Amino acid sequence: MPELYYSHAIREAMAEEMRRDPRVFLLGEDIAGYGGAFKVTQGLAEEFGTERVRNTPISENTIVGVGVGAAVCGMRPIVDIMFQDFIALAMDQLVNHAAKFYYMYGNQAPVPLVVRTPAGGGRNYGPTHSQSLEAWLIHVPGLKVVAPAFAADAKGLLKSAIRDDNPVVFVESKLLYGVRGEIPEGDYTIPLGEAKVVREGDAVTLIAYSRMTIESLKAAQILSSRGIEAEVVDLRTLSPLDIDTVAASVEKTGRAIVVCEDCLTGGISAEVMSRVVEECFDFLQAPVKRVAALDTPLPCSDVLERAALPDANKIVAAVEASFAAYP
């Protein structure tokens, strides 16, 4: 299979869907000639023109509001929010409009909207450009939330999101844009709401998504050298959440560590942990542990940012602490 960068896989997914369906168009800040803040849309305006790759003013509430209106009117817009932090400016449009119309009006008003947004830390961008706010979004019935870890999944899941009649927030880790991965040839999609076991193991289940799936795989290699074989489950979609795949793994291993880049308090890890306890309590050999970001605004300092964010070594420490307390 050919290899593509994560960012190029996303671009290819959008280009293929734009060729397939003339209703698909893009709108966002600096996405046309400049190609977006991370160059993900580079070259698309040259192929499809600036009517379908539209630069917008710096006004996230307006951008998303236009996207919602266009979706209700039969188009299939892809909105680019330059940093996930800025999605706070469009929460009214997402929460009170996009997420509600399909429910309120049924088939009269599907909302086939995709909001793409880079999230997370690791680049020393500081408190207002490094957040992971997925937990805000999964709390809203009517929104789907996707956060792929691999290039192939990014492409297949984005194509599914574009074809979905519901609003989807597509979360992309900035640090994954430059990571290459094998991509299946031809037109393929990956269903939303299906997690995937990306590493087999029998001693402990590491549950993660986006960049933390990569960190969990690194941790699993370290643990393997120490005689602990970890299974890694990549959630891929956060809403709807595939608890069945997670539960099957935890029932096999008897232990679970949930790894998320968002803050510990009220985060994705809290929701996943509670679901694991509900579904798998009788199988657990030790309490479920969480590895997440500290409850602090992310610093610009590289040393302080690394101290605040989860990584492979912190995952290893959590697993070893679990085995030490509950052999």
| Catalytic residue set | 60, 129
279 neighbors 286 (Cβ within 8 angstroms): no
Question: Tokens 């602990």 identify what position?
Answer: 228
Burial class (CB in 10 A: 0-12, 13-18, 19+), 104: exposed
Angle at 133 between CA 12 and CA 85, to 5 degrees: 75
CA 120 to chain CA centroid, nearest Å = 10
| Tokens (6 digits) for 211 | 């960049």
